[in-house]
Amino acid sequence: MSEAGYINYFEILGVGEDANPGEVRNTFRKKMKALRDSVTDSISEDRRAQFILDMAKLNAAAFILRDQAKRAAYAEERKALIELEKRWIDQAAKSSDPESTDALRREFDGRARGFLSKYVEETMLEAGQDKDVAESSGWNIFYARYALKLLRHYRHLLYHDILERLPFHVVTQPSIDWAERRRSVSAILETAGR
């Protein structure tokens, strides 16, 4: 099953799940230096946004993974959410009890939103306020202001990635024929506004 959408800080930092705090710090510093070296003064708007997002992700990864308690809580929540998604998908496939399936969907939806709010927006902003993290990354109040909208956007994109693979519930499962879609687009362009 795909785990896309459930932000993986081990993968972002490139360390194993058993990495010790020292290893996390060293990797964080190396990665942050490489990231900062990759940008020049004349940076485009798109590149700047990506740079700040990458910086925020590395900050949060170091902030969570260097602390055993935070790391354990994060890993546990993530694992539980992935399992809940699997349970819901399995139950929806059986569709024996629509009401309990819908209750499971609601529970999953609430927890997925909560997880992304906590580990994308809140943690990334909180990490920037940590003295050690901020010293290594150079994160400051201006980055934080800029990142507010950026992180919300990123959170929605992750949520969207999760949503895309879930069973349909607001509409019935569509059957899409892309050859027919191409013809429809062509017909729309032919007749629109005429």
Partner 1 sequence: MARADKQAAPKIVNPEDVARSLAKCVADGDIVNLRLLFAPFSPARADSSEVYTDEKYAYLLPAASESGAAFEQALRAVREAATWAHVQRELAAMRPAQLPAELVLLLGDNAAREGKWTSAAQAYELLRIRRKMQEEFFAQGLAALGARDLPRAVLAFRTGVGLGFDYSAFPEPLPQVPQYQTRALMMHGSYPQRPEDCVALLEPELHAQVALDYLLGDSEAAGRLREVDFATRLAFLRELVLQSDPEWEVFAAQFAEACRLTHALGNRLQQVGAHQPETLAEEIEEQQAADPWAITQALLGRSIEGGAWWQYLKELAYEHPAAALFISRQLVGEQEILMPRLRAGSPVAAALGLQGGDAPSAAPKAP
- Of 158, 152, 135, the residue nearest 28 (C-alpha): 135
Binding of residue 95 to partner 1 (CB under 8 A): no
Which residue in the block uniquely carries the two structure tokens 């017909």? 187
Which residues contact residue 33 at a Cβ distance below 8 angstroms, ignoring those fewer than 6 apart? none
Contact present, 24 and 43 (Cβ < 8 Å): no
Cα–Cα distance measured from residue 50 to residue 88, given in angstroms and rounded to the nearest whole number: 34
Closest CA to 127 of 13, 19, 40, 11: 13
Is residue 96 close enough to count as binding partner 1 by CB under 8 A?
no
Q: Which of 69, 141, 171, 179 binds partner 1 (CB under 8 A)?
A: 171
Residue 193 touching partner 1 (CB under 8 A): yes
The least CB distance from residue 163 to partner 1, in Å, is 8
Q: Does 94 bind partner 1 (CB under 8 A)?
A: no
Closest approach of partner 1 to the CB of residue 89, in Å: 15
Pick from 69, 141, 179, 189 the residue near partner 1 by CB under 8 A: 189
Cβ atoms of residues 127 and 60 within 8 Å: yes
Smallest separation, CB 7 to partner 1 (Å): 15
Determine, following the binding rule CB under 8 A, whether residue 181 of this chain makes contact with partner 1.
yes
- Distance in Å, CB of 188 to partner 1, minimum: 5
> Of residues 121-150, which lie at the interface with partner 1 (CB under 8 A)?
149-150
* Min separation Cβ 144 and partner 1, Å: 16
Instruction: Output the CA angle 157-52-68, nearest 5 degrees.
Output: 80
Nearby residues of 120 by Cβ (< 8 Å), 6 or more positions away? 7, 151, 154, 155, 158
Interface contacts to partner 1, rule CB under 8 A: 46, 98-99, 102, 149-150, 152-153, 156-157, 160, 163-164, 168-176, 178, 181-182, 184-186, 188-189, 191-193
